[in-house]
Chains A and B, each alone.
Chain A
Amino acid sequence: MNDNVNSDSKYYNNPLTRPHIKWGKLEEANNFAHKVKLFRQHALSEDDFRRFRLQHGAYGSRLQMGYSMVRIKIPGGEITPEQLEKIASLSEAFSIGSAHVSTRQNIQLHWVQLEDVSEVMRGLAEVGLTTREACGNTVRNVMCSHFAGVCAKEEFDASPYSKAIAQFFLRNPMCQNLPRKFKVNFSCCNEHGLVRIADIGLVPMINENGVKGFRIYLGGGLGAASFLGHLVEPFTPENRLLSTCLATIRLFDRHGNRENMARNRMRYFVHEIGWDIFQRMVFKERSIVEMTMAGSTLESFRVLLEGHQREVFKIQNKHLELPILNTQNTSTNDSFNRWMNTNIVHQKQQGYFTAFVTLGAGDITANQLRVLAASIRELSIERTARNTPQQNFAIRYINGKDVLNFYTRLADAGLTNPGALTIASAVGCTGTTSCNLAITNSHRLAKEIEYKFLELQYDIDEDLRDSTIKISGCPNSCGQHEIATIGFFGGASRIENSMAPTYTMLFSGSTGEQGELGKTIMRVPAKRVIDILRKIIEIYRQEKSGNETLKHWIRRIVNGAGTGNIRGVEDIKRLLSPIAQLDPIDLDPESYRDYGTDIRFSAKTARGECAA
């Protein structure tokens, strides 16, 4: 018996091995209830109330301002079984009985009546969660790669840093009224994580002298106009992490555009002034911060960081491999094998595995959350889950011998769809299911793609495995379409006198430190997206050379370096265009209706609330 891992009590009861930070505050729930009453009595103006509401994580629902989307921050993506169970109860009581995993590691409850938001906050505070600064002009949820701590390529675990940064800036007076929202993403290695599409992106590294630190990227972000972040310097030591972040936020606060709501993210300022100048400003500002920062500030950050340091799991396990497969030739076994191949990864801790729970566009029912929570409690040594920007859950530290047990428990709750780590796990923002800005039902489209791709068994095709599909319902990129192998953002097209829901398709976006933004290819009607995807895969299968995957082939096409019949983008567009052509509405009424509705499409939107 391995006493480091299997003596449950030592780890389950050790405050260092489980989250213990109380992010939420009960008084904020009471205050919210009070403010709603004032607003309803017209004692608080609509603008003032909106700012307050967004600051506290409640976003107006699509064309129904009496309802809110409540965005629960999950700092670093780390969440306990008790928190999952509470979210389950709250979703049943005040929302729609399902919760939604966002692309930035939040968990959202939709269609909550404004008057009940304070009750949701109250429940969240009981389990230490908060919605504070989940929306509005603030530092949003601080993300961390769900592989941090278990990634074979990482130099050290960035999780404690992500949570310390989150804690330092939460409710910090300096970030209560920024020009616009501000996003911080930590990764584990150069591959995983979204470091170049954040205002501050950080990759942990240890330099040649053995000093811990980060490669820090600034000024990235996706939206109507997207930019990749720039590397500040080759290495930023750990002891300059806080001052670099502080300097960046101070510069943004001082110089960010507060006039033009459409161009007030920091990336626009960086772009307009030029990276070289901004970089010098950061260095100068950082010197000022470091010279003027009170010793107690640095000390308080050090204390926060220490509070988040977890005992390293010293794994010396005897179960080096996954359980032997194919021991029985049953169909259950086939499903299990398929799930193993598409939802399980090895950790750097030998004998331990991370299992992914495939969710349709991030949605999970209250009962599923409860089953998941119980399974985590019993079978994950670290006893927490991480939610992923692919809108799934990652459950880590599952002993190889427990993997089948884990699968069996989840299977009964319908939580063992395969394909989490493959092209089948399409990402979709909430789209017209709840968002004021959405033009199309990107959410349902992502689910439709997932069903169809699993039916076609695309998930078991090794060549498709490293490709991704991400969909936004408008150009604003909540679905992160610009970092997908094949991305889509929603719009409307007029055909004769009728409007049809359409998507603009992009190719060859990618994540990681070498990530690139996708290139616009063509417009595709919503109801033809699946046909187009199937056609692309069919063409790829004919045209690929050697072992190249779909992802690599698409990159080659975008770079005009194709061979055979498809040399560049124009060649593939020519083959796809016939599928994208729509007949007039009387011949094809179906194409003039979006997914999830039987009424004719019209592009209805209302004021966005991203910027308070």
Chain B
Amino acid sequence: MNTKKLQSTNSHAKIPLICNTDTVQALILNNSARIVDVRKSEEYLQSHIRSAASLPLSQILEKEPSGIIEILKNLGVTDTLPVVIYDDTFGALAARVAWTLQYVGHSNTSLLEVTYSQWKRMGLETESNNNKFPKVEHAMRINHKIQADASYVDLAKEQENKFLVDSRERLNFLTEHIPNAKNIPYTMLRSDNNILRKPEEIRRLIENRGMSTDSEYITYCGSAGTLSGLAFFALKSAGIKNVKLYSKSFREWKLLGKVKEEFKDANYWDLSAD
């Protein structure tokens, strides 16, 4: 997409990938962004961030790109209007929606750095209006660079300059994973109060592992691309340029009967107190 042209023809600024609460409050005040709540609609109706629109995750999973574009139009999102997305599930659902919007061509999409619970704990403004927005136009420009499918992953797993990142928790990873995948559990990427650690910390974790930040990264998780969606944004925020999401993730991989790496020589599940 030609961002230069967009910037020159539009008043909306490009917002950071991860927005802090101050930025979001300013955007709300100036009515210069669409805030999107991806929790269930009944949760939205109870209360949500002031001026937010409702877009439950379930509405976008399995939808074709044209359907996603239709949703954006109905939410009054033009090609350049900043969109900030939040959830109450440690950022994973928000990340999956945000990735989808970026994929269909809405690059000016970011994540709120806190969950809705944290927003409320901080005493920031909420409301319960069922907000509606006048319909606008939005073009579709599929961003193939951020998406990977099974056949792409199949090739990538053997390629030296590509890292396959499994975002599931450690015990799931040990049990089985795509061959050569590196495990970076989503739990590693968050901090006590924010959905993601600071970019420099994420960078340090990557560098500790001897992984080059110039390489291509492909994230995946168990099924719907939520945990790996969060990892997608974590890696992007840490300054890694080339990140892709394998959105159909390990569930599809297994359904396709593709080869897995398993580890059966230890009974690690029995160490869990859950």
Contacts and interface: CB of A to CB of B under 8 A. Distances in A.
Interface of A: 33, 36-37, 40-41, 61-64, 89, 92-98, 100, 110-111, 113, 115-116, 118-119, 359-360, 363-365, 368, 430-434, 441, 443-444, 447, 594-597, 599, 604
Contacts of A434: 266, 268, 271
B267 A432 contact: yes
B263 interface: yes
Nearest to A94: B188
Interface in B181-195: 183, 185, 187-188, 190, 192
Given A37-B210, A119-B205, A110 B187 contact: no
Contact of B208 (A118, A365, A595): A118
Contacts of A41: 210
B273 interface: yes
Given A41-B210, A92-B187, A363-B272, 7 more contacts: A64-B266, A96-B169, A96-B272, A116-B209, A360-B273, A443-B267, A443-B270
Nearest to B174: A111
Interface centre among B188, B264, B270 (most CB of A within 10 A): B270
Given A62-B266, A64-B266, A604-B265, A98 B208 contact: no
Contacts of B174: 64, 111
Contact of A430 (B171, B208, B263, B271): B271
A430 B266 CA distance: 10
A597 B269 CA distance: 10
A570 to B, nearest CB: 35
A62 B265 contact: yes
A365 B187 contact: no
12 contacts: A96-B271, A98-B274, A116-B205, A363-B273, A365-B274, A433-B266, A433-B268, A443-B271, A447-B270, A595-B270, A596-B269, A604-B265
A441 B208 contact: no
B141 interface: no
Nearest to A415: B273
Interface centre among A96, A433, A444 (most CB of B within 10 A): A96
Nearest to B209: A115
A604 B274 CA distance: 27
Contact of A113 (B183, B272, B273): B183
The 6 closest A-B pairs by CB, nearest first: A363-B273, A596-B267, A444-B270, A62-B266, A115-B209, A98-B273
Interface centre among B205, B208, B210, B271 (most CB of A within 10 A): B271
B263 to A, nearest CB: 7
Interface string B202-222: 001100111000000000000
Interface centre among B204, B210, B268 (most CB of A within 10 A): B268
A41 B264 CA distance: 29
Nearest to A117: B208
A115 B210 contact: yes
B63 interface: no
B135 interface: no
Contacts of B271: 96, 98, 100, 110-111, 363, 430, 433-434, 443
B258 interface: no
Nearest to B273: A363
A162 to B, nearest CB: 28
A96 B170 contact: yes
A92 B274 CA distance: 12
Nearest to B187: A92
B274 A97 contact: yes
A169 to B, nearest CB: 30
A450 to B, nearest CB: 12
A237 to B, nearest CB: 44
A389 to B, nearest CB: 18
Interface in B241-274: 263-274
B170 A95 contact: yes
A110 B267 CA distance: 12
A97 B268 contact: no
Contacts of B273: 98, 359-360, 363-365, 368
Given A98-B273, A363-B271, A443-B270, A115 B208 contact: yes
Given A89-B192, A93-B188, A119-B208, A98 B266 contact: no
B170 to A, nearest CB: 5
A432 B267 CA distance: 6
Interface centre among A41, A95, A113 (most CB of B within 10 A): A113
B267 A33 contact: no
A115 B170 CA distance: 14
Contacts of A96: 169-171, 268, 271-272
A111 B274 contact: no
A119 B185 CA distance: 14
A441 B267 contact: yes
